[in-house]
Structures are given as C-alpha cells and as structure tokens.
A and B are shown apart, each in its own frame.
Chain A
Amino acid sequence: MDTLLDVSNLRIRYGGAAREAVRGVSFTLGRERLGIVGESGSGKSTVGRALLKLLPGATITADRLRFEDVDLTLLSEREMLKIRGRRMSMILQDPKFSLNPIRRVGDQVSETYLRHFRCSRREARERALAMLEAVKIRDPERVYRQYPHEVSGGMGQRIMIAMMLLADPDLVIADEPTSALDVTVRLQVLDILDNLVRNRGIGLIMISHDLNLVRNFCDRVLIMYAGQVVETLKAGDLERAEHPYTRGLLAAQPRIGGPRAPLSVLDRKPEWLEENA
C-alpha cells in the first residue's frame, strides 16, 4: 500500500501555552480510513488542523511531515494554498457554521473547482451539480440555488462533503463530521462519505469522540490522551484494547440492552500524562 501521509514525532504548541497540545504523535496513512478518537482537549482536532497548517500562531515541529511527494514543514503559505482543498481537504463539524450564510450553496461548491482548475463558470457549475447528485441530493438544481439556512443539517453536511470531494483530493480529514446530526441522518451521511472515499481510493482521517463511529467506519484507530497516542488498533480489535484509558472509555459507554448497573468511571492515572518515548 502506498503511503499518503507519514508523520513522525509531531509536536504542536499554541502561542503562549505552557505545555504542548500535541506531544510526539507519529503515524502513517495509506489509502485507508484512519480514526482518531479521544476526549475534548486530547489534541485530536489539533493534529488534523496541523496537517493542513490551519493553526496560525502555533508552533509546529516534526521529525517528518510528508504528504505524498511534499514535505509539509517546508511549504510556504502560498504553496499550501495549492494543497488545501485540492489535494487535501477538511470536512468540519457543523455545516451551519462552516458554510457562508449569505452565498448560495451551489456557488460555494463550484468555487472549489474554479479555484483549482482552469475552466469556465459553466463547467464548474456542471461539475458541482454532478457532485451534489453523487452525495444523493435529489434535486441538485434546486439545492444549488438555495442558501445555507434553507437546507437541513444532514443536507448541509452532504453539501460540505460535495465541496470537499469536488477537486478529487487524495486525503480528506473529517473532524466530527456527524456530531451535529440526528442519529437517523448520521448513518446516511456516513454511508455516502464512506462510499465516495472507498470508490475513489481517498485516504480518510476521521476525527471523533465517538467510539461507535470509528469502530464502524474506520480500518484503524489511534486513541489519543493528553496530546499523545496511547494506542493504535485495528477497528475490529477495539474490544481487545489493552491500554487502561481505551478500556475505560469503552466501559463508560452505556449500551442498548446492557445491564443498568452504574457505568464504570474512568480512573485517570497520572502516569498516562508522562511522555512515552
């Protein structure tokens, strides 16, 4: 399997912070679906943003940060613009906040294409319509003309997916793509994303706090705690996790049909915070 992304000893410190938010994260990604799970504040979103260099004011260092043929650490902001959205893109949590409220959604989708390819507006529009259809929007012509407030949350997230896949990137980072959606809609959106990612052979990094989600929609899972990866597992082997933190997370989840005994509570050990070499 060819390697899309090779990260070694990634460290991120926000400006003015006493401690590093991400401490020595290493992983490689092929054309597969990788999940990153952890609690809020564990640094999982920070890793995602660092890959796209979307952290102004933060210091990012790494022994290696390679994306295909480029070394991300060496790229200028100008060169990054050619990567972002074109070869690597990001789906954010809530379409309500990530779409521009005063522009028609179709124009926002086709902008991706216009920005990265030499083409006419008409061609970009057609591409966008085809992509809206690919994310199973029934009446793409009508939706194209709508504003973000006129579409539902599930529809909005499908529009985001269309926008992010339009330029045919090699890597998509999805940061909590379905946390803002209802359960019934969540599965539909995930299925659409899953199909597109598989059919096009895109590498996917799925950042989530939801163990069920990564278990069902990822091949491998990194578990993060306090800025470090504590464990890497195949999604199917999640139940056989060894690190006490992962086991604690699994046990803390209420389950349908489970006993109604008090849920086990995570007993945070100070040694989990120590940096492992």
Chain B
Amino acid sequence: MSVSVDVHDLSIVFGSGPQAVRVLPGVSIAVQPGECFGLVGESGSGKSTVLRCISMLTDFWQGEIRIGGRFVREIPLGERCRTLQMVFQDPYGSLHPRQSVRTVLHEPLAIHKLDDREDRMRRAITDVGLPVSFLDRFPHQLSGGQRQRIAIARALILEPSLLLLDEPTSALDVSVQAEILNLLQRLRDERGFTYIMVTHDLAVVDHMCDRFAVMLLGEVAEVLPRDAIAGNQATHPYARELVGASLAYEGTRRAQG
C-alpha cells in the first residue's frame, strides 16, 4: 500500500520572457514509503507548489518526480488519481456549495467505473468518523471540521497510497484541529499511507511528521528529523531562526516545564 516519493532537481518557471520567475530552482526530496514528511517555510517559499507539481495539478515543471519508483509523468491519469490524492487548506473553498456529500463522493467512483458504490461511500464516510446520514447533507449544513472530514473522505474514496496535505488544519480551531490530526494519524496507522504535509506550525510537524524540510525561497534549506525541533539542532541559519521562533512562541509554557 505504501509508496515512496522521489523528487529530483524539480524546477518550475512561471510566466515567460523577461517576466519569467523561477519559483523552484531545483528541489530534491526523498520520502520513504509510509513516512509522514513535512514541508515548512514562510509563505511564498514554494511549499504548496511542490505538492501541486507532485500531483500534476501544475504540470509544466522540469526535473524528475517518481512515485513508487515510477516517473509520475508516465503513470496514466486514472492510475495516478488512484495512487495520490490531495487535501486542500480551506474546507470552505474546496467543496462545491451546490453538491451534496453523496455527489462529491460519487463522482470519483463513476469516473473510475468502480462498483459497490453505495458501500464504498458508506465506508469512506465512516472512516472519517461521520454518520452515514451525512451523505445527504450539503456543505452549508456542515461545520468547518466536518467539511474537512468530507474533503478527506473524498481523497480516501479511491483508496490511494499517497496523500498530499496542504495545510489541512490551518483554517480550523485548535479543538477541531486535534480531531483532524487524530484522524490522519489513525488512518496512517491502519493503511500505511505516505503523507506529505505542508504546514507552518512546527508543533503540528512535531506531532505528526517523521522528518521535515525547511524551505526558503523555493529551495530546501535543510531536511531535519522530528527530534531536531525540541533542542533546535538545525544548522542552516533560516531553519534555526524558524525553529527558534516556534520554540519562543511556545516559550513561557516550556520555561514553566
């Protein structure tokens, strides 16, 4: 079920002619099967762009991306969608307001001509901890946390092995964030998903990820294991600053023990 992700020398240019901007000047990361890999960095550092390149939502990049050893460009569309899925930041923007949960979950099944549709939909919605009756609700009848659960159910319904998570909890309250993080962790334990997770919150990285890359201006400044956060063992100056700031932010509490 688990797949590895290898990104080698990924670069992308937006615009053309004199206004062309090279956003990623050559990113390389290697994610092990079943790993939860974090991408952190300030806004505009290219974290989300990396996810969009891996998922081929943005496809005019150069370099190599391999998923489970296969070049992502060579994986046929249908198979690619059954291998990787993405969960977006804003659950208010990523669900169609006029489509019921049933429609949202049914569409991928119809596209991929899968059978047992009712069963699969029931399973997906139960997996994310919602009652089956929610299938007939519309997004406006759901809270933010419930919407994000639906977005996760939509990603799960094709039974992928790689989930790309683009700030899955930053639009949610702390109490709701806890529910979603627990859900993601349980699903990984049960199914052995590989996660690549963009976030700006190092406490979330520390809770979820095995390793993480600190990005700065489109480049990977440093790849660190999770344990490096608590004692700030980063060596790159920006990574040190980021980890230091996050520790300082939690500050008072740490001082008190």
Contact = CB atoms under 8 A, between A and B. Distances in A.
A184 B176 CA distance: 25
A263 B207 contact: yes
Interface size class of B (residues with CB under 8 A): 35 or more
A263 B200 contact: no
The secondary-structure label for the interface of chain B is helix
Contacts of A236: 252
A38 to B, nearest CB: 9
A153 B176 CA distance: 26
A253 B253 CA distance: 12
A212 B250 contact: yes
Interface stretch (A21-29, A112-120, A254-262): A254-262
Interface size class of A (residues with CB under 8 A): 20 to 34
A34 B42 CA distance: 29
Contacts, number: 98
Interface of B: 42-43, 144, 173-179, 181-182, 185-186, 200-204, 206-208, 229-230, 241-242, 245-254, 256
A219 to B, nearest CB: 13
6 cross-chain pairs, A with B, having the tightest CB-CB distances, nearest first: A254-B207, A263-B178, A252-B178, A257-B230, A266-B175, A182-B42
A201 interface: no
B234 to A, nearest CB: 13
Nearest to A211: B174
A186 interface: yes
Given A183-B245, A183-B246, A209 B173 contact: yes
Contacts of B207: 254-255, 258, 260, 263
Contacts of A216: 249, 251-252
Given A153-B43, A262-B182, A256 B246 contact: yes
Question: Looking at A184, A185, A215, A216, which has the most chain B CB atoms within 10 Å of its CB?
Answer: A184
Contacts of A153: 43
A215 B256 CA distance: 12
